[in-house]
Amino acid sequence: MKIGVYPGSFDPITNGHLDIIERGSKVFDKLIVGVLVNVDKKGLFDYPERVELIQRVTAKYKNVEVRCFEGLLIDFMKKEEASVILKGLRAFSDFEYEFQMALMNNKLDPEVETVFMMTSAQYSYLSSSAVKQVAKFGGRIEGLVPDEVIDDVYSKILSL
Protein backbone atom coordinates (compact mmCIF):
# COMPACT_ATOMS: atom_id res chain seq x y z
CA MET A 1 0.00 0.00 0.00
CA LYS A 2 1.44 3.39 -1.05
CA ILE A 3 0.97 5.89 1.77
CA GLY A 4 1.67 9.59 1.22
CA VAL A 5 1.89 12.40 3.76
CA TYR A 6 0.94 15.97 2.88
CA PRO A 7 2.48 18.08 5.68
CA GLY A 8 1.86 21.70 6.56
CA SER A 9 0.59 24.23 9.06
CA PHE A 10 -2.91 24.54 7.56
CA ASP A 11 -3.79 27.65 9.58
CA PRO A 12 -6.34 27.53 7.99
CA ILE A 13 -6.73 25.08 5.11
CA THR A 14 -7.10 26.96 1.79
CA ASN A 15 -8.52 25.97 -1.58
CA GLY A 16 -4.92 25.56 -2.74
CA HIS A 17 -4.33 22.92 -0.05
CA LEU A 18 -7.63 21.22 -0.86
CA ASP A 19 -6.69 21.05 -4.55
CA ILE A 20 -3.47 19.21 -3.67
CA ILE A 21 -5.31 16.88 -1.26
CA GLU A 22 -7.94 16.01 -3.87
CA ARG A 23 -5.35 15.30 -6.55
CA GLY A 24 -3.07 13.51 -4.06
CA SER A 25 -5.90 11.24 -2.97
CA LYS A 26 -5.98 9.88 -6.53
CA VAL A 27 -2.25 9.16 -6.56
CA PHE A 28 -1.87 7.37 -3.22
CA ASP A 29 -3.73 4.42 -1.70
CA LYS A 30 -3.85 6.46 1.50
CA LEU A 31 -3.04 10.15 1.96
CA ILE A 32 -2.40 11.48 5.47
CA VAL A 33 -2.66 15.23 5.96
CA GLY A 34 -0.06 15.96 8.67
CA VAL A 35 -0.64 19.13 10.68
CA LEU A 36 2.65 20.28 12.19
CA VAL A 37 2.40 21.23 15.86
CA ASN A 38 4.82 24.12 16.21
CA VAL A 39 5.14 25.01 19.89
CA ASP A 40 7.12 28.17 19.03
CA LYS A 41 4.45 29.68 16.81
CA LYS A 42 1.01 30.77 17.98
CA GLY A 43 -1.37 30.45 15.07
CA LEU A 44 -4.94 31.58 14.47
CA PHE A 45 -6.56 28.16 15.02
CA ASP A 46 -5.39 25.70 17.62
CA TYR A 47 -4.38 22.24 16.41
CA PRO A 48 -7.59 20.27 17.10
CA GLU A 49 -9.51 23.05 15.30
CA ARG A 50 -7.22 22.85 12.25
CA VAL A 51 -7.67 19.09 12.15
CA GLU A 52 -11.46 19.41 12.45
CA LEU A 53 -11.65 21.96 9.62
CA ILE A 54 -9.56 19.74 7.34
CA GLN A 55 -11.63 16.68 8.26
CA ARG A 56 -14.81 18.60 7.50
CA VAL A 57 -13.74 19.49 3.96
CA THR A 58 -12.04 16.17 3.14
CA ALA A 59 -14.75 13.84 4.48
CA LYS A 60 -15.71 12.94 0.91
CA TYR A 61 -12.25 11.53 0.18
CA LYS A 62 -12.41 8.12 1.79
CA ASN A 63 -8.65 7.47 1.64
CA VAL A 64 -7.67 10.76 3.30
CA GLU A 65 -6.87 10.92 7.03
CA VAL A 66 -5.85 13.92 9.12
CA ARG A 67 -3.42 13.86 12.04
CA CYS A 68 -1.18 16.20 14.02
CA PHE A 69 2.52 15.58 14.40
CA GLU A 70 5.32 17.07 16.46
CA GLY A 71 9.03 17.05 15.74
CA LEU A 72 10.58 15.71 12.58
CA LEU A 73 8.40 14.90 9.59
CA ILE A 74 10.59 11.91 8.85
CA ASP A 75 9.75 10.36 12.26
CA PHE A 76 6.05 10.88 11.59
CA MET A 77 6.48 9.18 8.20
CA LYS A 78 8.03 6.16 9.89
CA LYS A 79 5.27 5.99 12.49
CA GLU A 80 2.61 6.09 9.78
CA GLU A 81 4.52 3.66 7.52
CA ALA A 82 4.42 6.30 4.78
CA SER A 83 7.05 6.46 2.04
CA VAL A 84 6.24 9.64 0.09
CA ILE A 85 6.06 13.28 1.17
CA LEU A 86 3.62 15.23 -1.01
CA LYS A 87 4.23 18.98 -1.38
CA GLY A 88 2.53 21.63 -3.47
CA LEU A 89 4.63 24.13 -5.42
CA ARG A 90 3.02 27.47 -6.11
CA ALA A 91 5.67 29.65 -7.59
CA PHE A 92 9.35 29.74 -8.33
CA SER A 93 9.83 31.47 -4.97
CA ASP A 94 8.74 28.26 -3.16
CA PHE A 95 11.47 26.29 -4.87
CA GLU A 96 14.55 27.10 -2.82
CA TYR A 97 12.90 26.39 0.55
CA GLU A 98 11.25 23.22 -0.70
CA PHE A 99 14.45 22.03 -2.36
CA GLN A 100 16.35 22.46 0.92
CA MET A 101 13.67 20.59 2.90
CA ALA A 102 13.49 17.76 0.37
CA LEU A 103 17.28 17.33 0.49
CA MET A 104 17.33 17.44 4.29
CA ASN A 105 14.55 14.87 4.56
CA ASN A 106 16.33 12.68 2.03
CA LYS A 107 19.51 12.95 4.10
CA LEU A 108 17.59 11.96 7.24
CA ASP A 109 15.93 9.01 5.52
CA PRO A 110 16.96 8.13 1.94
CA GLU A 111 14.03 5.70 1.69
CA VAL A 112 11.55 8.60 1.77
CA GLU A 113 10.81 10.41 -1.49
CA THR A 114 9.43 13.94 -1.81
CA VAL A 115 7.00 14.42 -4.69
CA PHE A 116 5.91 17.87 -5.85
CA MET A 117 2.62 18.76 -7.46
CA MET A 118 2.22 22.07 -9.24
CA THR A 119 -0.60 24.01 -7.64
CA SER A 120 -3.47 24.68 -10.04
CA ALA A 121 -2.96 28.09 -11.66
CA GLN A 122 -5.98 29.71 -10.02
CA TYR A 123 -4.50 29.10 -6.56
CA SER A 124 -0.89 30.03 -7.30
CA TYR A 125 -1.10 33.30 -5.31
CA LEU A 126 -2.89 31.77 -2.33
CA SER A 127 -1.51 31.24 1.17
CA SER A 128 -2.98 30.84 4.66
CA SER A 129 -1.28 34.04 5.81
CA ALA A 130 -2.74 36.05 2.91
CA VAL A 131 -6.21 34.67 3.73
CA LYS A 132 -5.82 35.73 7.39
CA GLN A 133 -4.73 39.20 6.39
CA VAL A 134 -7.63 39.67 3.95
CA ALA A 135 -10.17 38.41 6.53
CA LYS A 136 -8.68 40.54 9.31
CA PHE A 137 -9.29 43.72 7.35
CA GLY A 138 -12.78 42.73 6.28
CA GLY A 139 -11.98 41.54 2.75
CA ARG A 140 -13.84 38.69 1.08
CA ILE A 141 -12.34 35.22 1.37
CA GLU A 142 -14.91 33.41 -0.78
CA GLY A 143 -13.06 31.25 -3.28
CA LEU A 144 -9.89 31.36 -1.19
CA VAL A 145 -10.89 28.84 1.48
CA PRO A 146 -13.50 26.07 1.24
CA ASP A 147 -17.06 27.43 1.72
CA GLU A 148 -17.53 25.30 4.87
CA VAL A 149 -14.61 27.11 6.52
CA ILE A 150 -15.39 30.77 5.71
CA ASP A 151 -17.53 31.49 8.79
CA ASP A 152 -14.99 29.82 11.09
CA VAL A 153 -12.23 32.11 9.82
CA TYR A 154 -14.24 35.29 10.27
CA SER A 155 -15.54 34.36 13.72
CA LYS A 156 -12.11 33.26 14.91
CA ILE A 157 -10.59 36.56 13.79
CA LEU A 158 -13.40 38.55 15.40
CA SER A 159 -12.89 36.68 18.68
CA LEU A 160 -9.24 37.79 18.96
Name the binding residues for ATP: 9-10, 17, 88-90, 98, 123-129
Q: Residue 87 carries which side chain, given as an amino acid letter? A: K
Site for ligand PNS in 53-112 (CB under 6 A): 72-74, 101, 104-105
Q: Widest CA span of the chain, in angstroms?
A: 46
User: Which string of b and e fits 24-36 if b means at least 16 CB within 10 Å?
Assistant: bbeebebbbbbbb
Nearer to ligand PNS, 9 or 25 (CB): 9
Q: Are strands 30-36 and 64-69 parallel, antiparallel or unpaired?
A: parallel
Q: Is 8 in the site for ligand PNS (CB under 6 A)?
A: yes
Position with the least CB separation from ligand PNS: 8
20 near ligand PNS, rule: CB under 6 A: no
17 is catalytic: yes
To the nearest whole angstrom, how small is the minimum distance from the Cβ of residue 138 to ligand PNS? 25
- Binding-site residue positions: 9-10, 17, 41, 73, 87-90, 98, 123-129
Instruction: Tell me how far apart the alpha carbons of residues 117 and 27 are, in angstroms, rounded to a whole number.
Output: 11
Q: How far does CA 14 lie from the centroid of its chain?
A: 8
9 lies in the binding site for ligand PNS (CB under 6 A): yes
Of the residues 26, 41, 107, 140, only one is catalytic, namely 41
Please name which of 38, 49, 37 lies closest in space to residue 13, comparing C-alpha atoms. Answer: 49
Contact (CB, 8 A) for 62 and 28: no
Kindly list the residues in this chain that would bind ligand PNS in the complex (CB under 6 A).
7-9, 36, 72-74, 101, 104-105
Residues that are catalytic: 17, 41, 90, 128
